[in-house]
Chains A and B, each alone.
Chain A
Amino acid sequence: MASQNLQSVPAELSPEEQEREAAGQAYFDRIISEDSRIEPRDWMPAAYRKTLLRQISQHAHSEIIGMQPEANWITRAPSLKRKSILMAKVQDEAGHGLYLYSAAETLGQSRDQMMEDLIAGKARYSSIFNYPTISWADMGAIGWLVDGAAICNQVPLCRASYGPYGRAMVRICKEESFHQRQGFEILLELSNGTPAQKQMAQDAVNRWYAPSLMMFGPPDDDSPNSKQSMAWNIKRFSNDELRSRFVGMMVEQVRVLGLTLPDKDVRFNEETKKWEHGPLDWNEFKEVLAGRGPCNSQRVERRREAHENGAWVREAAVAYARKQAQKENAA
């Protein structure tokens, strides 16, 4: 199995330890072949642990950074109902970040460390959140396209081989599905509104369409980690497969919206039975990923500022808890 190639066994292991490792590997391989679940205390290959930790922490960071572009419109939401829905949505994202950090912690890394890595610019998050939200309609487009793409990516993750991740994803997907509907509803209302509102909606769809397609990651022939992740039952479908499905869904839904997708090459290929889309600017994707997007430094800076401004509060909570524990022990 491919997994065995990645597992380097240190030479200094004693015969007993080597035996334990071999038994662990055999158990792991059986669980994966049965499409069953690995739990935190189970033996797992170091590379599997590392891959998951990277993926789950990146996902958590995306939720946390992803709060910012939407929080940007909470104070300016144009009706109290919309304000209330938007607040609840951004709050959900904080909740998703929490479950995911917790799932990642079961793999042996602390939330503090993950947060430090994010602030230090060592950790990645979904590149799409480095684009600015410049109009109210962006709240609709993010819900519809960005959360829509996230759902396509994440629904199969509910069956990921790592138990805590899969279970966290079940709840997250339910909430994301609700988020997508609310985004669609915002756009629908704008599209049926005044000409200025409709224009606002179309402009947002034009700007978020390509970045949302790129959320599925690079094309399959340029995605080095995908194959191993699929062998480990973490990932279930390839980037291009998911992207094509997503395009198909959007084609139908955009008609209901009375808007258009900014892609004249979208078509259903009768031979492959797959939806196809026009060329994407992967150069821009790489640029944004490399830190040259419109909001990269702003997003990380906001996280750093919040974290550092809150340091004294976290210290106070720890000090207080310690003092209370001492009092209880003394009593």
Chain B
Amino acid sequence: MTTKDTDFAIDGHGDISVGVHGAGASGDGSASATRITPGNALRPEDIALEISRGQVKPSEDVAEFALRIGDDGLILAQRLGHWISRAPELEEDIALGNIALDQLGHARSFLTYAGAAWGKSEDDLAYFRREHEFRSAHLFEQPNGDFAVTIARQFIVSFYQFELYTKLMESTDATLAAISAKAVKEVDYHRDHSAQWVLRLAGGTDESRDRIIQGFKLVWPYVDELFEDDELTTRLAEAGVTVQPSSLREEFDHLTGGIMAQAELDIPGVPQSLGGGRRGKHSEFLGYILAEMQVLAREHPGASW
């Protein structure tokens, strides 16, 4: 914020502005999604503006792909948001809140872009689709559990997302590349945060070690789904829009394996779940997440907020 100190002097007390000018703390209304440099904040509003001007429009395939990764972020943000005011320490209320905000920010950009293919807004997609229309992977909808489960989930997510967004920065689709360039820097912090906590919990007390081992057991069945190739990713990989998810696995295993080894934790030998999230097949959890997330928007269809 660039507000001057003098705005808060007692003399100006009665004049507290109620205008919203300058409310946007980051980004620049004239920023371009396609000309954006990694150092600038790219906002979903910037993408929406380009869409409305007819400057960008994703192909059906690109939109379908953006929907997948947008839904991942959205559902995870919905989960993480629940921690705010419930975390083990104030610093973690802030950290988990920050990660939730980052995930939501990425989701808004990806969904805004995806929606352009079908004339839909980010909110149309978030609030007015049903369970089978969501494309998020199962990992993202897993319950928060205790702090260890949340950290185990975040550890997998952030190492996966880091690899994906790093590759997407090279995408032939300029908008996906621009969104990813912003996202990857944030996800790098998420990696650091979760890796540090994995080490702390594994090397802390007997209880914390038991809990992080149990946490990994609960979320590890959903790892393979993240790296599954299918017809869509094959077509997009050929077009240079993204890479095959399976190609991200080696580096993911290498980096997560390094931290796990340092923490003296074994990769859980648990069976991998069938997944299916990318095809709209979800667990029982998603219905409840959507019921809560969508209730108010659906009570007032067409309303603006």
A-side residues, CB < 8 A to B, are: 64, 67-68, 71, 74-84, 87-88, 90-91, 94-95, 97-98, 101, 136, 148, 151-152, 155-156, 158-159, 170, 173-175, 177-178, 180-182, 184-186, 189-190, 193-194, 196-197, 236, 245, 248-249, 253, 256, 302, 305-306, 309-320, 323
Residues of the B chain whose Cβ atoms lie less than 8 Å from the Cβ of A248 = 14
Q: Is B10 in contact with A79, judged by CB distance below 8 angstroms?
A: no
Interface residues on B, range: 35 or more
B-side residues, CB < 8 A to A, are: 1, 3, 5, 7-10, 13-14, 16-20, 23, 25, 44, 74, 77-78, 81-82, 84-94, 97-98, 100-101, 104-105, 107-108, 111, 122-123, 126-127, 146-147, 199-201, 203-205, 207-208, 211, 292-293, 295-297, 300, 303-305
Give 29 CB contacts A-B under 8 Å. A74-B84, A75-B292, A78-B300, A78-B305, A79-B297, A80-B104, A80-B107, A80-B111, A81-B305, A90-B97, A91-B84, A98-B91, A101-B90, A155-B10, A158-B8, A174-B1, A177-B16, A181-B23, A182-B23, A185-B20, A194-B303, A309-B86, A309-B147, A312-B207, A312-B208, A313-B147, A315-B204, A316-B200, A319-B203
Q: Is A94 in contact with B23, judged by CB distance below 8 angstroms?
A: no
Chain B binding surface SS class: helix
Whose C-beta in chain B lies nearest to the C-beta of A95?
B94
Residues of the B chain whose Cβ atoms lie less than 8 Å from the Cβ of A83 = 77, 81, 104
Whose C-beta in chain B lies nearest to the C-beta of A148?
B16
Choice from B17, B89, B111, B305 contacting A310 with Cβ under 8 Å: B89
Choice from B18, B205, B300 contacting A316 with Cβ under 8 Å: B205
Whose C-beta in chain B lies nearest to the C-beta of A316?
B204
Whose C-beta in chain B lies nearest to the C-beta of A169?
B8
Residues of the A chain whose Cβ atoms lie less than 8 Å from the Cβ of B208 = 312-313, 315-316, 319
9 closest A-B pairs (Cβ-Cβ)? A310-B88, A316-B204, A316-B208, A313-B88, A91-B97, A71-B85, A67-B85, A94-B93, A320-B200
Chain A-chain B contacts (Cβ-Cβ < 8 Å), number = 190
Cα–Cα distance between A199 and B67 once the two chains are bound (Å): 35
Q: Is B293 in contact with A310, judged by CB distance below 8 angstroms?
A: no
Q: Which of B93, B147, B203 has the most CB of A within 10 A?
A: B93
Contact of A75 with B88 at beta-carbon distance under 8 Å, contacts A181-B23, A248-B14 already known: no
Cα–Cα distance between A71 and B93 once the two chains are bound (Å): 11
Contact of A98 with B90 at beta-carbon distance under 8 Å, contacts A83-B104, A177-B3 already known: yes
Q: Is B97 in contact with A79, judged by CB distance below 8 angstroms?
A: no
Cα–Cα distance between A173 and B304 once the two chains are bound (Å): 29
| Besides A309-B86, A320-B199, 16 other A-B contacts (C-beta < 8 A) | A67-B85, A75-B81, A78-B300, A78-B305, A81-B305, A88-B101, A94-B84, A173-B8, A185-B23, A194-B303, A197-B300, A249-B14, A302-B85, A309-B147, A312-B208, A316-B208
Residues of the B chain whose Cβ atoms lie less than 8 Å from the Cβ of A181 = 17-20, 23
Whose C-beta in chain B lies nearest to the C-beta of A183?
B18
Q: Is B211 in contact with A312, judged by CB distance below 8 angstroms?
A: yes
Cα–Cα distance between A101 and B126 once the two chains are bound (Å): 38
Q: Is A87 in contact with B90, judged by CB distance below 8 angstroms?
A: no
Residues of the A chain whose Cβ atoms lie less than 8 Å from the Cβ of B85 = 67-68, 71, 90, 94, 302, 306
Cα–Cα distance between A181 and B295 once the two chains are bound (Å): 26
Choice from B77, B122, B200 contacting A317 with Cβ under 8 Å: B200
Q: Is A79 in contact with B305, judged by CB distance below 8 angstroms?
A: yes
Nearest chain B CB to A187's CB is how many angstroms away? 10
Q: Is A91 in contact with B90, judged by CB distance below 8 angstroms?
A: no
Whose C-beta in chain A lies nearest to the C-beta of B80?
A87
Residues of the A chain whose Cβ atoms lie less than 8 Å from the Cβ of B92 = 310, 313
Q: Is B5 in contact with A170, judged by CB distance below 8 angstroms?
A: yes
Q: Is A309 in contact with B146, judged by CB distance below 8 angstroms?
A: yes
